Structure 1
Amino acid sequence: MQQGDKQEFARALQATMELYDKGLSRDAMGMWWHALGGYQLEEVKGGLTRHIQDPDRGRWAPKPADVIAAIQSAYLDQWPSAEQAWAQAIEAADESATVVWQSREAQQAWHQAAQAIYEDGDKVGARVAFKEAYNRLVREAVDAGQSPVSAVSLGHDVQGRRDALTTAVDQGLLSSEAAQRHLPAPEATAEGVAGLLTAGGDGEGGEPAYPAEQLEALRRAASGSRPRSSPASDERGRPDELEAERQRQLSQLQELESQEAAA
């Protein structure tokens, strides 16, 4: 809390203590402020409210430790349980699978404490080690006032990677932009170059935006090189028309590069 929060903090605390017919001296108020000063005002007010609403602890006037416990409980509620995190960790045992962890703590607990044990065949021991490490890491994060942040472990299966990232976006674990960063850049064929050249999406000033990977695809297509996956049958028919199209694309590419250099 900041110095400017003192009055609102005092009002919230005094109102809480009045519910229990308790008063506060100036010295006691100073001790409360010192004990809770490391938290945000809204966290403290939320902790007071949670204490009041607790069917067990709320029957007695709170002490600073009660409010801290209530604040930390609110943070803990944001994390999946150790059992839920372990169920996700098992998925990571398959190296082809992409796992979008609900927290970095789960990812860290798996890689640092449980993975080697699991791969040695001791699934029970891996589960115990994972839960101990996970609970410790979450407690450290809660003590530091942190909220869970998702993390990604990429698997070898590219299609499975797309499916996992799409699901994570749908569940709100990742933004679309974050998911896109974990996907390989799409390959362009010569047939798709014309579409790239006229692709929608405007940059600054209304000019078409061309990502670096698209420009590289244009260079490959215009120079006549093709991805290895392009079938040889693409070369059949109308060689003169294909050459004319390649020259037109090369001309447009040179114009784009000139505009980019001028900018």
Structure 2
Amino acid sequence: MIDSDFEAFATAWGQVQEIYNRSVTPGTIELVFRALKHLELDEIHRALTLHIQSPDTGQFPPRPGDVIKFARGDSQSRTLQAWAKVERAIRSVGHYRDVAFDDPLIHAAIERMGGWTAVATAETEKDLVWLRQRFEAQYRTYAIHPPETWPRFLPGAATQQNALIGNHTRGQLPGRDMTLIGDSARAARVIEGGRDIKSNGTDVKRLSNDALSGLIANMSSNRGAA
């Protein structure tokens, strides 16, 4: 979710709590919103419905962990799915181009591991096994304790080189340099909801809304990459 989703989220969360005769405070809603911010609003709506309908959990009011589990499965299955996307991107996109995944936890985990170029330059199967172990450990940590922020995208070698020599006008990223991995619309939301990043000490600013819309259109063919 992004900040503009807060009102809709607060309404949905409050309505569900009313089913269980519970009231919520603004502070509680804000806390839950931050805990679930890495999910999409439609995922949360669907997960809340599934929770209510479940004969195993429906008698209890939902907690953030319940929503995450119904939205994307348990941490183990989510971690395996996330690594599958990363590995396919390593093999099909490589380290030169910028990438944006449809899961902000992937961005956070890869940033923690040193960035996309460090991850995508794996040369051997042994390297991939080591990377997978590191990624899964980091991703599971974020699946349990989601980060408050994540990078808008993961810069590749081209952006790092251009930032170093000052070729990015005001730090703007040319859309043609990025590949969206997974669902294009969700990847765009990850970009929109993420924070600005630095590449070689230079700010790389967010894309404008028009540029982002054009990027989704131009990169829609890449949805099969994950």
- TM-score, normalisation: structure 2: 0.43
Point out which structure has higher relative CO (alpha carbons under 8 A, 6+ apart): 2
Larger radius of gyration: 1
TM-score (norm 1): 0.38
